[in-house]
Amino acid sequence: MDATADQRYVITLSCPDTTGIVARIAGFLADAGGWITEAGYHSDPDTGWFFTRQVVRADSLPYGVDELRDRFAQVAAELGGQTDWTVTDTAVPKRAVLLVTKEPHCLHDLLGRVAAGELPVQLDAVIGNHDELGDIVRAHGVPFHHVEFPPPGNVRYAVEKEKAFDELSGLVEGYDPDAIVLARFMQILPAQVCRAWAGRALNIHHSFLPSFVGARPYHQAYARGVKLIGATCHYVTPDLDAGPIIEQDVIRVDHSDTASDMVRRGRDIERLVLARGLRWHLEDRVLVHGNKTVVFR
C-alpha cells in the first residue's frame, strides 16, 4: 500500500545528552529524503538527558515503517545502551481500552470524541466493575465487559478482589492495547498490574495533584477553602496518585460552591484533562523520564 499524503511516521527518542544527537538523527532522515513536519527537542539540564520527537511524511521516505524501524535502530544503538526509542505509523490506529465504574461523564465524553473522529484511536472495549454504563457503550458499537468486584465489606474481600483483577487483567491483555484509560475507575490497581501496564495506563485524578491525594478530593478542597479546583491526568504507578503527570488544569470556585457544586463543576476539568492527556499519549507526544514527563505539544 502506498503512503497517503496524510500518513506520518512518528519517532521518539531519549538518551543521555551529548553533542551531535540532533545532527545524527536529522542527517539520517535527510539522507533518506525525509520531510520533517514537526520536531521537538528537549535537553534537560538537571538529569543530563535528551528527548526528541520527530514527525516525518511517510511518502517522503523510499521505504516503509518496518525498514525505517530497522534502520533507526542502528542510529539509536550508536547513541548508547540507555537509549529509549519508538517508531510508529499514523496509518496504524492506536487501540485503547477504557475502565469505568458508574461515574459516566468521562466515558460519555470519550465516546463522543471517538464518534466525532476527534481522537486518533480505535476503541476496542470498555470494561466496568458495574454494568450501569453498558448500554451507552454498546449503543456506540463498542464491546462492554462487566467484571464484578467484591463489595468492601465482603469477608473474602482480598481473595475476591484478586480474582476480579485477574479477570480484568486477562481481558485487558487480550486486547493488548496501547492505552488503558482509567476513566474514573474507582479501584486501586495492585502493584503487579501497575507494573504490567507501565507507561500505558492513564488515570484521571479529580484534584490538582499533589493537593488532595486520596479519597474525596473535592470534599478536601471544600474544607480547605481553595479558590481553584483541578484535575490531573497521570500515568499509573504503584504509588497511589504519585505517577508522572501528563496534564493538569483548574477552574475557579468561590464560597458559593458547595462540595457537590465542586464535584459537578470539576467534571468539566476532568473530561478536558483526560481527553488532552489521552490525545498526547496516543500521538506519542509524552516521553516519561523518572517520575516526570516531557510533553511535546
Q: Which residues are catalytic?
A: 241
Using the contact rule CB under 8 A, the part of the chain among 88-96, 167-175, 186-194, 219-227 near a copy of itself is 219-227
Tell me if 130 contacts a copy of itself by CB under 8 A.
no
Tell me if 186 contacts a copy of itself by CB under 8 A.
no
All three cell numbers of 185 = 475507575
d(CA 113, CA 115): 5
Using the contact rule CB under 8 A, the part of the chain among 44-52, 146-154, 163-171, 197-205 near a copy of itself is 44-52
Residues 234-263 that bind a copy of itself (CB under 8 A): 244-250, 254-256, 258
Q: Output the smallest distance, CB 287 to a copy of itself, in A.
A: 9
Shorter beta-carbon distance to a copy of itself: residue 2 or 255 = 255
d(CA 236, CA 280): 16
d(CA 147, CA 253): 37
Which of 146, 165, 88 has the alpha carbon at shortest distance from 121?
88
> Residues 66, 67, 118, 176: which binds a copy of itself (CB under 8 A)?
118
Which of 129, 205, 207 has the alpha carbon at shortest distance from 168?
129
Element (H, E) at 217: helix 217-224
Tell me if 43 contacts a copy of itself by CB under 8 A.
yes
All three cell numbers of 114 = 471517538
Site string for a copy of itself, 134-153 (x = CB under 8 A): --x--xx-------------
Q: Output the smallest distance, CB 28 to a copy of itself, in A.
A: 8
- Give the largest Cα separation in the chain, rounded: 66
Q: Output the smallest distance, CB 261 to a copy of itself, in A.
A: 11
Shorter beta-carbon distance to a copy of itself: residue 30 or 77 = 30
> Residues 93, 112, 150, 190: which binds a copy of itself (CB under 8 A)?
112
Q: E-assigned strands of 129-262?
A: 144-146, 179-182, 201-205, 228-235, 245-252
Provide the 10 A C-beta neighbour count for residue 244: 18
- Long-range contacts (CB closer than 8 Å, 24 or more residues apart) made by 255-260: 255/225, 257/222, 258/222, 259/218, 259/219, 259/222
> Residues 74, 81, 116, 152: which binds a copy of itself (CB under 8 A)?
116
Q: Output the smallest distance, CB 96 to a copy of itself, in A.
A: 17
Tell me if 86 contacts a copy of itself by CB under 8 A.
no
Q: Output the smallest distance, CB 110 to a copy of itself, in A.
A: 10
Shorter beta-carbon distance to a copy of itself: residue 156 or 264 = 264
Using the contact rule CB under 8 A, the part of the chain among 93-101, 157-165, 186-194, 265-273 near a copy of itself is 265-273
Tell me if 45 contacts a copy of itself by CB under 8 A.
yes
The length of the chain is 297
DSSP, residue by residue, 141-164? T--EEE-----TT-TTHHHHHHHH
Which of 48, 40, 41 has the alpha carbon at shortest distance from 290?
48
Shorter beta-carbon distance to a copy of itself: residue 30 or 191 = 30
Shorter beta-carbon distance to a copy of itself: residue 45 or 152 = 45
